[in-house]
Chains A and B, each alone.
Chain A
Amino acid sequence: MQTTAGSLALLGSRIPADAPIVANMRAAGAVILGKANLSEWANFRGSRPDGIFINGWSARGGFTRDPYVLDFDPCGSSSGSAVAPAANLCAVAVGTETDGSIVCPAGNNLVVGLKPSLGLVSQQGIIRIAHSQDTAGPMARAVTDTAVLLNSLVSPFGPVAGQPIPDYTTFLQQGALNGARIGSTVASSYRNTSRCPKLTPWLSMQSELWPHLEPPSLIRWTPATPSPSSTTSSWSSFTSSRGTLPPTSRACATPG
């Protein structure tokens, strides 16, 4: 199988050996069924002409579809690694994350995703954006499967190397979420159904799947006084700073 980040530029590239995490998984009895699609180059290549970054498309794999709501954003960049277990194409999948690339597609495709602490899981054999942030992590339909896969992914390096690593399945606790109160920020446009009507069936599906939990839309958490140092403020600064990126040259307009 080829490691291409979804780009045709790396098509045909030959890898010298399994990545350590793949070797670990095979040693634990896993059968590797295939590679999943992703946002090409983990969505660090570019955007649409209007500046919007799209999720789950690569030139090699095309568009990834959320199996529950086909025209809903599957999020990314590990889009296919969320969709594959969600659609029951496999029991577990491995995603990689710099910032949200496991947990966001996991949320949008209704599977469990976990970004391990940096250093718990080897980065070798993985195309990274930032060695200071990137890590592979487990994605699955069940928390138990996620813990089992995490156990076999463990391959510590850096500050984690040499530290005792627990068996993560020992932390599983039946009914741990019973009676849990789930907070949801009203500021997030992703959860504002008036701006995204397609989220309404998605939210109601959540409440069907987990009827013992209060639907996120019923509990709202809002900072009493937005402070200049709040996350929202930082995010606004970030997004506005992204707006100052130099205008791209549309390559298709380039002769030759």
Chain B
Amino acid sequence: MKTLADLIAFNIQNCDAEMTYIDQSVFEAAEATSGDLSDPVYLAARQLLGAGP
């Protein structure tokens, strides 16, 4: 298990144990981002939440 993609794949492979109550929508949304902390979308989200730099 080295990456978020590894975890997503693991949860799919083990869905009976891992996915009975909750999905992995946050993991999937995170995997769909650039992963770049200077991404304007990320910075705008931080600003919306009132987070500091």
Q: A-side interface residues toward B, CB under 8 Å?
A: 7-10, 13, 40-41, 44-49, 53-54, 57, 59, 132-133, 234, 237-238, 241, 245-252, 254, 256
- B19 and A246 form a contact (CB under 8 A): no
CB-based contact A8/B18 at 8 Å: yes
What separation, in Å, do the CA atoms of A237 and B50 have in the docked complex?
A: 12
| Cα(A133)–Cα(B53), bound, Å | 11
Within 8 A of A (CB), among B29-48: 29-30, 32, 45, 48
Q: Provide the residues of chain A in CB contact with B12, threshold 8 Å.
A: 251, 254, 256
Asked whether A251 lies within 8 Å of B1 as measured between CB atoms, the reply is no
Given contacts A248-B28, A256-B12, 8 further A-B contacts (CB under 8 A): A13-B1, A41-B27, A45-B23, A46-B23, A47-B22, A47-B23, A59-B18, A234-B48
* Given A234-B48, A238-B49, A246-B32, also A252-B24 (CB < 8 A): no
Number of contact residues on B: which range applies? Answer: 20 to 34
- B contact residues vs A (CB 8 Å cutoff): 1, 6-7, 10-19, 21-30, 32, 45, 48-52
Instruction: Kindly list chain A residues whose C-beta atoms are within 8 Å of the C-beta of B49.
Output: 234, 238
A8-B17 contact in complex given A46-B23, A47-B23, A57-B22, C-beta closer than 8 Å: yes
Contact in complex: B1, A10 (CB < 8 Å): yes
Q: Report if A54-B22 is in contact (Cβ < 8 Å); known contacts: A234-B50, A238-B48, A246-B29.
A: yes
Contact B16 A249 (CB under 8 A): no
Q: Which residue of A lies closest to B21 (CB)?
A: A57
Contacts of A250 in B (CB 8 A): 19, 23
Question: A252 contacts B16, CB within 8 Å?
Answer: yes
Q: Which residue of B lies closest to A250 (CB)?
A: B23
Cross-chain contact of A132 among B21, B22, B27, B51 (Cβ < 8 A)? B51
Complex contact A8–B23 (CB within 8 A): no
Bound-state Cα–Cα, A53 to B16, Å: 19
Selected contact of A47 from candidates B13, B25, B32, CB within 8 Å: B25
Cβ–Cβ contact A59 & B17, under 8 A: yes
- Is B10's CB under 8 angstroms from A48's CB? no
Sampled A-B contacts (10; CB under 8 Å): A9-B10, A41-B27, A46-B26, A46-B27, A47-B26, A53-B22, A237-B48, A248-B24, A251-B15, A251-B19
Contacts of B11 in A (CB 8 A): 9, 45, 251
Q: A9, B17: Cβ atoms under 8 Å?
A: no
B35 CB to closest chain A CB, in angstroms?
A: 13
